[in-house]
């Protein structure tokens, strides 16, 4: 069951020299398919504009491009690109747990795409962090040197991001080896998978929670309905259903766009996969909702509910957590695929709102709107450019490497 | 697919590599370590008596002059009509408050906390609590602005308009302290509103004033216990909320809020891989003798 | 300090424990309900499932190969061979059958004959080893009849099988065959994936075969999967 245009590489037995491999990769760089689709044009223009804005930002400083201020040091590059992006990438550690640790065959057909998305998400959101750093030339200081602020949550996050990218890369590397036709390498890399998965899950637990722990010292700046010492736990639990929702969302798109790469068995099994993911989301959101309720009761801030921020809090908790949880629940029980997709989108909006609330909206909530941080169009364009570039890279990889189609026969894995 | 020795060792190796950075964590990093007796240095601080401040703003000038910042025109008193925060151009300034006891002038700057949130936040040790109590910033900073998020007093200011931005805040004139001099603002104050000394002696002095001149001061030294204690201490004749101080900060040092998470890191890095590999081994099908069911597979 | 409300922030109030207990109690039915399909769906599936197992008749005296062909030993070492009810209902209307010529050899577990439906050709595995000594000419002329009685009148081959006892050891019969068929039924249901439109509400089998209603384009792949000839 080889990929649609498997080149001779997959069946060639002889040893491939480095020159052959480089030549092959260079030949693969040529674009395929229609160039001037609406998506290509819009995303392409955004990427080009974004590139110019990035150069401008590097040359002139953050103030020239962003609306960050002394009151609001973190904006959408942190609050959205990093916080939301990393939450959405949580599908990788959840599904690798299910597929490799628990040895469930059910999700086998989507695991590679999910790991690839996780890897790309972290690489690109590390890029977003790089852009957000005021003194970006010092970015290696937490990694090399003799002045490690090891008591900083951000220090741990930096290291975890780096190690996690490596783990994801190791998990994805068998696909690359198959693409390049390197059999011995492929075999070796396959043996590393379970180790990388296990380390990846431990790292993910910590940095998902860690992104929340960043705000522990912002006590007094974050509205009491959102500030709790349990933010790290909440971030971790929400990353589970955020990731799975993203898998549902992105998978639905990929299944349409790349449907010629997916064999019919995987197409047929897809509904079953969606129902399984829906179950996972429903359970995780049930737990999360009750955890939030418990935290609310612990804080006992009843009087705050009857304020504008209180209504906003209820909107997030009821409208964007409890309701999608129920929709996932019903979708799983009745096999209602459209309902599951709606639930996934609502959940993703809820995660975006939640992360933005903690980092920007409920942050110094007393400051009037006229003095608050609202992202500049340049920040938004750069964010979009990063996302589009990630999609382009994803597309490039998926159309050439065996991500959706099965492994070539010589690499069939025994589970 | 069961686990073989090779895979296990690989997993363990990667796991240990993952734990390595956590080993750099020093346990109990929220608390200042005790120095050996011959090296003991006391934290220095400044006592600000707001009943003595006349709002001349000589401290603002002296600070700017001493550190190469833009010297403010202290003759222009119109700026006092609004409450100003410190900025990337001004490490310290005086604000004027209208209170029940008339005008009160309050000097604002970095509080030089005993256990600073910014120092705990800084992942490259650019923010450092010096042995003499000064909290200083250094150029190996990455510009991540996590210190700004973590400061309960919102003191660190960032040079957004520069391509080579710095974090700007009061350094307790650390270079002058090295030479045995007093901070520039303290030297410049004509009315002894600012007193420089060890934190211990300042608290003694503050208590003397409170109990010596009964009724004059609110019986509270701001900064004695707030957020675990700060280097800058304040006395006031009016309640502190009326002169721009937050009184809801609590007495817990800010680094303590991250402790729970930080302590869980080595534990998770240790337990998760072992647990997960254990589950993976337990679900191995290598020993199965079940025959496959007929039909499609 | 004025304006300071005393809340013992470290105390876990009793009501929090009550909430935890309530949450755990609620979680039990939640978990059970989310793990299975809704009763309505389940009952619909269940009502059809017995029908499915009734559709797939498994006469007791036959021996079945896992590729859904059967063997019926007759006198001596003669064996009658055919396709089972499941295979027929999966494929639906058969346009033509290609049988091996009389005198040729068939091998247990290897391709025995093929069926043609529409533009697709499906191979099937022979349940026994031996020499073909007879073929069902009537069926060759009217292959649509195979549905009417896949076991009796719609036999395909008469085979002389010298190793008949050894062959039969590899085949399923009686209780084992029933168990196997239940497994096949589960696989089919999983394949159908809640697309219960593949079978009509009254439990009838579509004429053009179940496979075509599960996956219209690639139905032959499904069939080959179940018949073990992919």
What local confidence, expressed as pLDDT, does residue B2 receive? 47
B89 and B222, same domain (yes or no): yes
- Highest-confidence range of A15-29, B90-104, C81-95, C133-147, by mean pLDDT? B90-104
Return the HEC string of A108-177: HHHHHHHHHHHHHHHHHHHHHHHHHCCCHHHCCCCCCCCCCCCCCHHHHHHHHHHHHHHHHHHHHHHHHH
B217 and B284, same domain (yes or no): no
Q: Does A294 touch chain C (CB under 8 A)?
A: yes
- How close C183 gets to chain A, by Cα (Å)? 17
B184 and B53, same domain (yes or no): yes
- How close B135 gets to chain C, by Cα (Å)? 28
Confidence of residue B292 (pLDDT cuts 50, 70, 90): very low
Mean pLDDT in residue range B94-106 = 95
User: Which chain C residues in 62-91 lie under 8 Å from chain B, judged by CB atoms?
Assistant: 66
Are A334 and C34 a contacting pair at CB < 8 A?
Answer: no
Phi first, then psi, for residue C228 (nearest 5°) are: 65, 30
Are A268 and C194 a contacting pair at CB < 8 A?
Answer: no
Q: With a cut of 60, say whether residue C195 has pLDDT above it.
A: no
The widest CA-to-CA distance across chain C, in whole angstroms, is 107
Q: With a cut of 60, say whether residue A342 has pLDDT above it.
A: yes
- How close A218 gets to chain C, by Cα (Å)? 18
Closest in B239, B241, B294 to C180, CB measured: B294
- How close B203 gets to chain C, by Cα (Å)? 19
Q: What is the average pLDDT score of chain C? A: 78
- Counting one residue from chain A and one from chain C, the pairs whose CB atoms sit within 8 A come to 64
Confidence of residue C47 (pLDDT cuts 50, 70, 90): low
Cα–Cα distance for residue pair B78/B72, rounded to 1 Å: 12
* B217 in any annotated domain: yes
Cα–Cα distance for residue pair B97/C152, rounded to 1 Å: 105
Are C33 and A279 a contacting pair at CB < 8 A?
Answer: no
Are C36 and A333 a contacting pair at CB < 8 A?
Answer: yes
Residues in chain A with CB shorter than 8 Å from the CB of C21 are none
Confidence of residue A8 (pLDDT cuts 50, 70, 90): very low
Cα–Cα distance for residue pair B45/B109, rounded to 1 Å: 12
Are A202 and B273 a contacting pair at CB < 8 A?
Answer: yes
Report the domain count for chain B: 3
What local confidence, expressed as pLDDT, does residue C62 receive? 83
Q: Which pTM value belongs to this model?
A: 0.79
Of A202-216, A371-385, B220-234, C171-185, the poorest mean pLDDT is in C171-185
Mean pLDDT in residue range C201-213 = 64
Q: With a cut of 90, say whether residue A59 has pLDDT above it.
A: yes
B90 and B24, same domain (yes or no): no
Instruction: Note the pLDDT tens digit of each residue in B19-41.
Output: 544 444 444 444 445 555 445 67
Q: Look at residue B281 and give its three-state secondary structure.
A: helix
Cα–Cα distance for residue pair A64/A60, rounded to 1 Å: 6
Closest in C1, C191, C225 to B247, CB measured: C1
- How close C215 gets to chain A, by Cα (Å)? 8
Q: With a cut of 50, say whether residue C82 has pLDDT above it.
A: yes
Return the HEC string of A227-249: CCCCHHHHHHHHHHHHHHHHHHH
CATH label, A34-404, candidates 1.10.4080.10, 1.10.10.10, 3.40.190.10, 1.20.1630.10: 1.20.1630.10
B247 and B161, same domain (yes or no): yes
- How close C183 gets to chain B, by Cα (Å)? 6
Cα–Cα distance for residue pair A20/A1, rounded to 1 Å: 25
Q: Does A300 touch chain C (CB under 8 A)?
A: yes
Cα–Cα distance for residue pair A360/A221, rounded to 1 Å: 10
Neighbors of chain A with 3 or more C-beta pairs under 8 Å: B, C
Mean pLDDT in residue range A398-409 = 85
What local confidence, expressed as pLDDT, does residue B30 receive? 40
Torsion of CA B266, B270, B275, B280, to 10 degrees: 120
Share of chain C above pLDDT 90, in %: 14
Contacts of B133 (CB under 8 A, 6+ apart): B42, B43, B44, B45, B112, B114, B172, B199, B231
Share of chain A above pLDDT 90, in %: 73
Are B247 and C225 a contacting pair at CB < 8 A?
Answer: no
Please give the residue that has the higher pLDDT: either C43 or A210.
Answer: A210
What local confidence, expressed as pLDDT, does residue C205 receive? 60
What local confidence, expressed as pLDDT, does residue A309 receive? 95
Select the residue from A228, A269, A298, A338 to test the C interface by mutation, using most C Cβ atoms within 10 A: A298
Are B295 and C1 a contacting pair at CB < 8 A?
Answer: no
**Cα distances (Å, whole numbers) of residue C32 to A98, B215, C7, C28, C37:** 20, 69, 39, 6, 10
Distance of CA B154 to the CA centre of its chain: 10
Q: With a cut of 70, say whether residue C196 has pLDDT above it.
A: no
B131 and B262, same domain (yes or no): no
CA dihedral for C174, C179, C180, C182, sign (positive or negative): positive
* B245 in any annotated domain: yes
B148 and B227, same domain (yes or no): yes
Neighbors of chain B with 3 or more C-beta pairs under 8 Å: A, C
How many residues does this entry show for chain A? Answer: 415
- How close C7 gets to chain A, by Cα (Å)? 9
B129 and B237, same domain (yes or no): yes
B236 and B270, same domain (yes or no): no
Residues in chain A with CB shorter than 8 Å from the CB of C40 are 334
Are B295 and C191 a contacting pair at CB < 8 A?
Answer: no
Q: What range does the domain containing B263 cover? A: 258-292
What local confidence, expressed as pLDDT, does residue A411 receive? 74
Q: With a cut of 80, say whether residue A97 has pLDDT above it.
A: yes
B166 and B280, same domain (yes or no): no
User: Which chain A residues in 26-85 lie under 8 Å from chain C, judged by CB atoms?
Assistant: none
**Cα distances (Å, whole numbers) of residue A80 to A5, A219, A242:** 38, 20, 13
Q: With a cut of 70, say whether residue C178 has pLDDT above it.
A: yes
What local confidence, expressed as pLDDT, does residue C176 receive? 82
Using an 8 Å Cβ cutoff, are B179 and B132 in contact? no
What local confidence, expressed as pLDDT, does residue C7 receive? 59
Return the HEC string of A39-50: HHHHHHHHHHHH
Q: With a cut of 80, say whether residue A409 has pLDDT above it.
A: no
What local confidence, expressed as pLDDT, does residue C184 receive? 78
Instruction: Note the pLDDT tens digit of each residue in A315-330.
Output: 999 999 999 999 999 9
Share of chain B above pLDDT 90, in %: 76
Mean pLDDT in residue range A296-306 = 92
Cα–Cα distance for residue pair A383/A387, rounded to 1 Å: 6
Please give the residue that has the higher pLDDT: either B40 or A81.
Answer: A81
Of A11-25, A31-45, B96-110, B130-144, the poorest mean pLDDT is in A11-25
**In the numeric block, which tokens belong to residue B129?**
């609590």
* B211 in any annotated domain: yes
**Chain C residues bordering chain A (beta-carbon distance below 8 Å):** 7, 12-13, 15-16, 19-20, 23, 27, 30-31, 33-38, 40-41, 190-191, 193-195, 214-215, 217-218, 221-222, 225
What local confidence, expressed as pLDDT, does residue A266 receive? 74
Contacts of C121 (CB under 8 A, 6+ apart): C98, C114, C115
Mean pLDDT in residue range B5-27 = 53
What local confidence, expressed as pLDDT, does residue C229 receive? 81
- How close B247 gets to chain C, by Cα (Å)? 8
As a whole number of Å, the CA-based R_g of chain A is 22
Instruction: Note the pLDDT tens digit of each residue in C148-162.
Output: 776 777 788 899 999
Return the HEC string of chain C: CCCCCCCCCCCCCHHHHHHHHHHHHHHHHHHHHHHCCCHHHHHHHHHHHHHHHHHCCCCCCCEECCCCEEEEECCCCEEEEEECHHHHHHHCCCCEEECCCCCCEECECCEEEEEEECCEEEEEEECCCEEEEEECHHHHHCHHHHHCCCCCCCCCEEEECCCHHHHHHCCECHHHHHHHHHHHHHHHHHHHCCCHHHCCCCCCCCCCCHHHHHCCCCHHHHHHHHHCCC
Residues in chain B with CB shorter than 8 Å from the CB of A195 are 7, 10-15
B159 and B107, same domain (yes or no): yes
Q: What is the average pLDDT score of chain A? A: 90
B34 and B142, same domain (yes or no): no
Are B296 and C172 a contacting pair at CB < 8 A?
Answer: no
Are A150 and B26 a contacting pair at CB < 8 A?
Answer: yes
Instruction: Note the pLDDT tens digit of each residue in B110-156.
Output: 999 999 999 999 999 999 999 999 999 999 999 999 999 999 999 99
- Highest-confidence range of B45-49, C34-38, C56-60, by mean pLDDT? B45-49
Count of CB atoms situated within 10 Å of the CB of B267: 11
Confidence of residue A48 (pLDDT cuts 50, 70, 90): very high
Q: Does A269 touch chain C (CB under 8 A)?
A: yes
What local confidence, expressed as pLDDT, does residue A117 receive? 95
Residues in chain C with CB shorter than 8 Å from the CB of A275 are 194
């Amino acid at each position: 069951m080889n990929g649609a245009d498997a080149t001779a590489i997959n069946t060639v037995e002889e040893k491939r020299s480095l020159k052959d491999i480089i030549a092959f990769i260079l030949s693969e760089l040529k674009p395929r398919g229609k160039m001037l689709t609406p998506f290509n044009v819009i995303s392409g223009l955004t990427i080009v504009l974004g590139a110019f804005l990035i150069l401008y930002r590097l040359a002139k400083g953050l103030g020239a491009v962003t609306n960050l201020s002394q009151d609001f040091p973190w904006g959408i590059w942190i609050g959205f690109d990093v916080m939301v992006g990393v939450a959405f990438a949580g599908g990788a550690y959840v599904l690798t747990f299910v597929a490799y640790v628990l040895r469930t065959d059910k999700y086998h057909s989507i695991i590679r795409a999910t790991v690839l998305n996780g890897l790309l998400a972290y690489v690109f959101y590390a890029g977003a962090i790089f852009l957000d750093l005021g003194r970006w030339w010092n970015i290696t200081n937490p990694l090399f040197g003799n002045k490690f602020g090891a008591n900083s949550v951000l220090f741990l996050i930096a290291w975890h991001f780096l190690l996690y990218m490596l783990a994801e890369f190791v998990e994805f590397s068998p696909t690359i080896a198959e693409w390049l036709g390197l059999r011995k390498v492929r075999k070796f890399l396959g043996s590393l998978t379970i180790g990388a998965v296990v380390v990846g899950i431990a790292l993910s637990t910590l940095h998902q929670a860690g992104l929340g722990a960043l705000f522990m010292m912002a006590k007094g700046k974050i509205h009491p309905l959102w500030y709790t010492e349990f933010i790290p736990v909440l971030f971790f639990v929400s990353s589970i259903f955020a990731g799975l929702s993203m898998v549902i969302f992105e998978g639905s798109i990929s299944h349409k766009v790349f449907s010629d790469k997916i064999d019919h068995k995987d197409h047929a099994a897809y509904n079953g996969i969606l129902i399984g993911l829906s179950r996972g989301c429903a359970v995780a959101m049930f737990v999360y909702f009750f955890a939030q309720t418990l935290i609310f009761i612990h804080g006992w801030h009843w009087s705050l509910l009857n304020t504008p921020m209180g209504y906003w809090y209820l909107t997030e908790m009821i409208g964007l957590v409890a309701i999608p949880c129920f929709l996932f629940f019903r979708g799983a029980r009745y096999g209602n695929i459209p309902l599951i997709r709606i639930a996934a989108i609502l959940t993703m909006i809820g995660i975006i709102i939640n992360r933005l609330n903690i980092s920007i909206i409920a942050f110094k909530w007393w400051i009037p709107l006229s003095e608050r941080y609202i992202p500049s169009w340049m920040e938004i364009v750069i964010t979009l450019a990063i996302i589009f570039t990630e999609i382009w890279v994803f597309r490039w990889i998926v159309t050439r490497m065996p991500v959706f189609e099965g492994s070539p026969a010589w690499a069939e894995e025994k589970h | 697919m069961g686990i073989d020795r090779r895979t296990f060792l690989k997993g363990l190796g990667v796991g240990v590599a993952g734990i390595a950075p956590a080993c750099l964590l020093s346990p109990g990093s929220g608390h200042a370590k005790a120095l050996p007796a011959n090296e003991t240095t006391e934290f220095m601080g400044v006592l600000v008596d707001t009943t003595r401040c006349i709002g001349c703003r000589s401290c603002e000038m002296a600070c700017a002059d001493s550190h190469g910042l833009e010297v403010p025109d202290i003759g222009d008193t119109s700026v006092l009509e609004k409450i100003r925060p410190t900025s990337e151009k001004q490490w310290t300034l005086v604000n004027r408050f209208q209170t029940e006891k008339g005008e009160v002038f309050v000097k604002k700057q970095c509080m030089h906390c005993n256990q600073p949130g910014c120092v705990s936040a800084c992942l490259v040790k650019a923010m450092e609590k010096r042995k003499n109590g000064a909290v200083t910033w250094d150029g190996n900073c990455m510009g991540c602005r996590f210190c700004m998020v973590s400061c309960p007093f919102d003191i660190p200011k960032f040079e957004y308009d520069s391509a080579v931005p710095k974090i700007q805040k009061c350094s307790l004139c650390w270079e002058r302290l090295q030479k045995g001099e007093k901070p520039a603002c303290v030297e410049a104050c004509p009315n002894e509103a600012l007193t420089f000394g060890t934190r211990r002696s300042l608290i003694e002095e503050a208590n003397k004033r409170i109990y010596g001149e009964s009724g004059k001061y609110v019986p509270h030294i701001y900064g004695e216990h707030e957020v675990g204690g700060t280097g800058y201490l304040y006395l006031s004749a009016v309640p502190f909320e009326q002169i721009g101080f937050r009184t809801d900060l609590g007495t817990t040092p800010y680094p303590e809020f991250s402790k729970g998470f930080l302590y869980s890191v080595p534990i998770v890095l240790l337990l998760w891989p072992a647990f997960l590999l254990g589950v993976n081994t337990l679900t191995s099908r290598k020993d199965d003798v079940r025959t496959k069911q007929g039909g499609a597979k | 300090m004025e304006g300071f409300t005393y809340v013992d922030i470290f105390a876990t109030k009793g009501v929090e424990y009550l909430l935890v207990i309530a949450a755990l109690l609620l979680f039990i039915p939640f978990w059970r309900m989310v793990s299975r399909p809704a009763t309505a769906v389940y009952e619909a599936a269940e009502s059809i499932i017995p029908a499915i197992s009734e559709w797939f008749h498994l006469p007791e005296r036959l021996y079945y190969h896992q590729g859904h062909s059967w063997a019926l030993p007759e006198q001596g070492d003669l064996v009658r061979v055919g396709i089972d009810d499941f295979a027929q209902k999966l494929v639906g209307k058969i346009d033509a059958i290609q049988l091996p010529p009389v005198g040729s050899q068939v091998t247990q577990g290897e391709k025995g004959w093929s069926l043609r439906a529409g533009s697709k050709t499906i191979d099937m595995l022979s349940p026994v080893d031996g020499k073909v000594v007879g073929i069902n000419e009537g069926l060759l002329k009217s292959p649509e009849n195979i549905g009417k009685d896949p076991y009796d009148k719609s036999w395909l081959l008469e085979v002389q099988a010298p190793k008949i006892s050894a062959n039969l050891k590899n085949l399923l019969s009686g209780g084992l065959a029933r168990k196997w068929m239940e497994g096949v039924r589960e696989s089919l249901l999983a394949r159908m994936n809640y697309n219960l439109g593949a079978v009509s509400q009254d439990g009838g089998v579509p004429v053009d075969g179940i496979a075509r209603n599960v996956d219209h384009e690639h139905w032959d792949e499904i069939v080959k999967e179940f018949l073990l000839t992919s």
